[in-house]
Amino acid sequence: MSDLLRVQGLQKSFGTLQVLRDISFAVPAGTVTAVIGPSGSGKTTVLRSLNALDRPDAGVIGIGDVTVDFAGPIDRATLARFRAQTAMVFQAHNLFPHRTVLQNIVEGPIVVQKRPREEAVDDARRLLEQVGLAEKADQYPYQLSGGQQQRVGIARALALEPELMLFDEPTSALDPELVGDVLRVIKDLAATGRTMVLVTHEIRFAQQVADQVLFVDGGVVAESGPPSRVLVEPERARTRQFLSRIL
């Protein structure tokens, strides 16, 4: 299987704090990668680098046929093509409060991607069905539960038709009883062969859904491999220590 995502030598500092020292990994097409690690280890920064929300100081990221070397100058057209390869689902959904669910989903495709409205609306309804919210199309975000809002956030990201879906702790802001529905949607996406990278604290979920787990610590990928190894029989003491604290 070819790698959809290739990350080589990412570095990133905020002021004097070096968060990413040397991050390298690859994600084969059609697979799910879970990024785990201690709080503050740089997991979110890795994810945000993948669509240049955070600009790495150095390193190369290739997604599909777009490769960007962050050490050098990047022209705007390349950066736009790079960003269009991914869509991000944030911890909190960031929906527009004064727009309906449907309007929230079609905004990106119509305004940014200039797709015909009718086509965007048809796609949005199909995506709402996929996340189990077909009947909520005309409601406003405040009329939905946190879990439903987050599922709309997933539909909105899917509507951009990205090659790679990025999830930043998509359930961490939810009440425990709402987590399951969101995880189920992500699991369904995995079953359809979507390529995804997710930062998560849900270790059991990672075990079920991920093909690859990256343990990020000290600014590097300290350990990586299938969940059956990294989460069950980790080689490194740091990984064992981290898992024993959160499991």
List contacts with ligand ADP (CB under 6 A).
14, 19, 37, 39-45
**Residue 60 region by backbone torsions, left for phi larger than 0, else alpha for psi between -120 and 50, else beta:** beta
| DSSP 8-state assignment for residue 112 | I
**Nearest-angstrom CA–CA distance, 180 and 39:** 23
State the minimum distance, in angstroms, from the CB of residue 12 to ligand ADP: 8
State the minimum distance, in angstroms, from the CB of residue 152 to ligand ADP: 23
State the minimum distance, in angstroms, from the CB of residue 59 to ligand ADP: 15
Q: How far is CA 40 from CA 3, 6, 46, in A?
A: 28, 23, 11
- When the beta carbons of 14 and 96 are compared against ligand ADP, the nearer one is 14
State the minimum distance, in angstroms, from the CB of residue 157 to ligand ADP: 19
- When the beta carbons of 40 and 116 are compared against ligand ADP, the nearer one is 40
Q: Is 72 exposed, middle or buried (0-12, 13-18, 19+ CB in 10 A)?
A: exposed
State the minimum distance, in angstroms, from the CB of residue 205 to ligand ADP: 17
- Relative to beta strand 220-225, strand 3-14 is unpaired
- When the beta carbons of 198 and 231 are compared against ligand ADP, the nearer one is 198
Check if the beta carbon of residue 115 is closer than 8 Å to that of residue 104. no
For the beta carbon of residue 107, count every other beta carbon within 10 angstroms: 17
- When the beta carbons of 46 and 182 are compared against ligand ADP, the nearer one is 46
Task: Tell me if residue 242 falls in helix, strand or coil.
Answer: helix
- When the beta carbons of 42 and 170 are compared against ligand ADP, the nearer one is 42
State the minimum distance, in angstroms, from the CB of residue 130 to ligand ADP: 28
- When the beta carbons of 41 and 195 are compared against ligand ADP, the nearer one is 41
Structure tokens at 76: 């705007």
